[in-house]
Chains A and B, each alone.
Chain A
Amino acid sequence: MTMIELHDVTKDYGDSRGIFNINLSIESGEALGFVGTNGAGKTTTIRHLMGFLKPNTGTVKINTLDAWQDAAEIKRWVGYVPGEIAFPDVSTGWDFIQQQANLLQLTDLSYANELIDRLQLDPSANIKRMSKGMKQKTAIVVALMANSPILILDEPTTGLDPLMRAEFIQIIKEEKAKGKTIFMSSHMFEEIEEICDKVAMIKEGKIVTVTLVSTITSTENQHFIIEFSNEQECTRFIQEKLDSMAISNSTVSVNIENNALNDFLAILSTYQIDNITEQKHTLQEHFYHLYAGGQSYN
């Protein structure tokens, strides 16, 4: 069953800013990672999911209801971490958590307490004096505490230290295991790789691709960068019947299928080599490739 569906959604702010003809659908229990540079339209898309913005054309459906028309109704199933954390005028973290629980008509705070423990949050602190990371943790607790079946997370790990980020990813993986539908935007490719089934890339307000994470990070073939001792060796190597490409006078990038690795090593042994490195197939690489229109080697 489709839980989140954007059908041909356009919001034109003029000067080619906005989002254009966005089509996305996320099935129940699926996790979609949403990546794109700053200003590409990630937050604008999320604001449509939340019913904050009305699309010029197209429809946004959450659990078959219209995200704009039935904005209040939909929030019964949605937990949301906003991209920018600005809390209401309350004094402590507890006051805020309690107030949100009241608005959600949530009486059982046991899951909230569990999350507070796991994220090492001190909710008794004055909310205005909280660090960015503390605020982010508070926002995460509030978004998850009602055990909503749909989670919409706008860059949820901003401001978290690496340990807390790992803990957060663990929590979200558990949420996913519970069968929740997740829509998460992020700058951190590792996060998306770990959590999401699919990744959608947005560029200048348009969806560039929607790909399964498993195909991007597949290990059916491997990718090496080889640095030869001299140019002659390099030129000679290019002649070999391999999927290779010269990067510079003495450096070559080569793609090898897993079952051809031994042959490749045999060939390689006849060359003078300074350095060989394996390039992991990462989302980041894929992303750079699509974004810049060329591969990245780093």
Chain B
Amino acid sequence: MQEGNPIINGTIFKQTLRANVKLWLIFTIVLTLLQIVMVAVFDDSTLADVSHLVEGTALAGLLGQTTLLSMLASTYYSIHGVIFPIIYIIMTANSLIASQVDRGSMAYLLSTPTKRSTIIVTQAFYLIVALVVMFCIETTAGFITIQVIHSDMDIVVADFIMLNVGLFLLMFAISSISFFFSSYCNLSKNSLAFGAGIPIAFFLFQLLSSVDDSLNVFSYFTINALFDTTAILEGENYWWKLIVLLGLGIVLYIASLEVFKRKDLPL
């Protein structure tokens, strides 16, 4: 029937796309609008005022320098641009595997000559493609906004692109965590406990570590620290950190495949 067994199944992919595209669209729009707004509202003088206001408080650490990219790095690239995709990943990853096993609808896929590996690869492919397209749209929108509104400024485009590549790789790694637990757990509640709990804990640790130097120890307990915006903007060596994120993602996606192939399914 399936000659050569295509590793990605078109029927499953289409069904997944239909079932998930609305959620993806909402998050992509929100993320893109946030990016546009954050870029657009930047103004050297406003920022100076804000810096002045928070001087001497804990927030001063968040707003150190006053270039567009450094402002974005300490706001969008550490808060909004991180937490929104995380929420999207948590919801989507759970619905791709664990929720279908939990509800029992996975039985229908597996009552056809479809391999378990085909299901995992197809669903993982969807999640990764959804993130790639989401960040391509967001990056393009941000780039255009910069060109239109801040054409007078001297902005290093390569740094802007690398911020987005780094953010994408962080999300790739986080999606692999959520996807792994979605593949590993038979119950949605367990899949969510780990698949949502761990990424949110990482996010909070990163947030805490950036508030004050005394809390810097938290940065050792979060993979979000591997997306090092300071290093990217100041031209330090950040490549190995991004490669670790990429490697972690690849390993966990492969692990997802292996656990799902071997486990008992209560369908």
Mark A residues whose CB is within 8 Å of B. Answer: 47, 50-54, 71-73, 75-76, 78-80, 82, 84-90, 96, 99-100, 102-105, 142-143
**Quick check: B108 and A88 within 8 Å, CB to CB?**
yes
**Quick check: B100 and A76 within 8 Å, CB to CB?**
no
Nearest chain A CB to B10 CB, angstrom units: 8
**Quick check: A71 and B110 within 8 Å, CB to CB?**
yes
Mask of B113-156 contacts with A, CB within 8 angstroms, 1/0: 11110100000000000000000000000000000000000000
A-B contact pairs, 19 of them (CB 8 A): A47-B265, A47-B266, A52-B107, A53-B266, A54-B264, A71-B116, A72-B114, A72-B116, A75-B111, A80-B107, A82-B104, A82-B108, A82-B111, A86-B105, A87-B105, A89-B15, A89-B105, A103-B113, A105-B1
B2 sits at the interface (CB 8 A): yes
The 4 closest A-B pairs by CB, nearest first: A103-B112, A86-B104, A89-B19, A80-B111
Complexed CA–CA distance, A265 and B266 (Å): 57
Q: Which residue of chain A is the closest to B113 with respect to CB atoms?
A: A75
**Quick check: A86 and B114 within 8 Å, CB to CB?**
no
Nearest chain A CB to B198 CB, angstrom units: 26
The answer, among B15, B113, B265, B266, for a CB contact under 8 Å with A88, is B15
B109 sits at the interface (CB 8 A): yes
Interface size range on B against A: 20 to 34
| In the complex, chain B residues whose CB is within 8 Å of the CB of A53 | 264-266
**A87-B105, A87-B108 as given contacts; A72 in contact with B11, CB under 8 Å:** no
| In the complex, chain A residues whose CB is within 8 Å of the CB of B52 | none
Mark B residues whose CB is within 8 Å of A. Answer: 1-2, 5, 9, 11-12, 15, 18-19, 95, 100, 103-105, 107-116, 118, 262, 264-267
| In the complex, chain B residues whose CB is within 8 Å of the CB of A75 | 110-114
Nearest chain B CB to A107 CB, angstrom units: 11
Q: Which residue of chain A is the closest to B12 with respect to CB atoms?
A: A103
Complexed CA–CA distance, A73 and B15 (Å): 22
**Quick check: A76 and B113 within 8 Å, CB to CB?**
yes
| In the complex, chain A residues whose CB is within 8 Å of the CB of B1 | 76, 104-105
**Quick check: B107 and A99 within 8 Å, CB to CB?**
no
Q: Which residue of chain B is the closest to A85 with respect to CB atoms?
A: B104
Q: Which residue of chain B is the closest to A54 with respect to CB atoms?
A: B264
**Quick check: B107 and A86 within 8 Å, CB to CB?**
yes
The answer, among A52, A80, A90, for a CB contact under 8 Å with B264, is A52
Complexed CA–CA distance, A51 and B267 (Å): 10
| In the complex, chain A residues whose CB is within 8 Å of the CB of B100 | 88
**Quick check: B108 and A100 within 8 Å, CB to CB?**
yes
| In the complex, chain B residues whose CB is within 8 Å of the CB of A76 | 1, 113
Q: Which residue of chain A is the closest to B102 with respect to CB atoms?
A: A86
Complexed CA–CA distance, A102 and B19 (Å): 17
| In the complex, chain B residues whose CB is within 8 Å of the CB of A142 | 108
Complexed CA–CA distance, A52 and B260 (Å): 11
| In the complex, chain A residues whose CB is within 8 Å of the CB of B105 | 86-89
Nearest chain A CB to B94 CB, angstrom units: 13
Complexed CA–CA distance, A16 and B107 (Å): 26
Q: Which residue of chain A is the closest to B10 with respect to CB atoms?
A: A102
**A99-B15, A105-B1, A105-B2 as given contacts; A50 in contact with B111, CB under 8 Å:** yes
Nearest chain B CB to A19 CB, angstrom units: 13
**Quick check: A52 and B266 within 8 Å, CB to CB?**
yes
Q: Which residue of chain A is the closest to B262 with respect to CB atoms?
A: A54
Q: Which residue of chain B is the closest to A79 with respect to CB atoms?
A: B111
Most A CB within 10 A of own CB, among B95, B105, B118: B105
Other than the known A50-B107, A73-B113, A76-B1, what 17 A-B pairs have Cβ atoms closer than 8 Å?
A: A47-B267, A50-B110, A50-B111, A52-B266, A53-B264, A54-B262, A71-B116, A72-B113, A75-B112, A79-B111, A82-B104, A82-B107, A85-B104, A87-B105, A90-B18, A103-B9, A103-B11
Nearest chain B CB to A108 CB, angstrom units: 14
Complexed CA–CA distance, A53 and B115 (Å): 14
Complexed CA–CA distance, A79 and B267 (Å): 15
| In the complex, chain A residues whose CB is within 8 Å of the CB of B267 | 47, 50, 52, 82
Complexed CA–CA distance, A73 and B113 (Å): 6
| In the complex, chain B residues whose CB is within 8 Å of the CB of A79 | 111
Complexed CA–CA distance, A71 and B116 (Å): 9
| In the complex, chain A residues whose CB is within 8 Å of the CB of B107 | 50, 52, 80, 82, 86
**Quick check: A86 and B11 within 8 Å, CB to CB?**
no
Nearest chain B CB to A174 CB, angstrom units: 21
Q: Which residue of chain B is the closest to A76 with respect to CB atoms?
A: B113
Complexed CA–CA distance, A105 and B105 (Å): 19
| In the complex, chain B residues whose CB is within 8 Å of the CB of A104 | 1, 112-113
Most B CB within 10 A of own CB, among A52, A53, A73, A78: A52
Complexed CA–CA distance, A100 and B112 (Å): 8
| In the complex, chain A residues whose CB is within 8 Å of the CB of B111 | 50, 75, 78-80, 82, 143
**A86-B103, A88-B100 as given contacts; A103 in contact with B114, CB under 8 Å:** yes
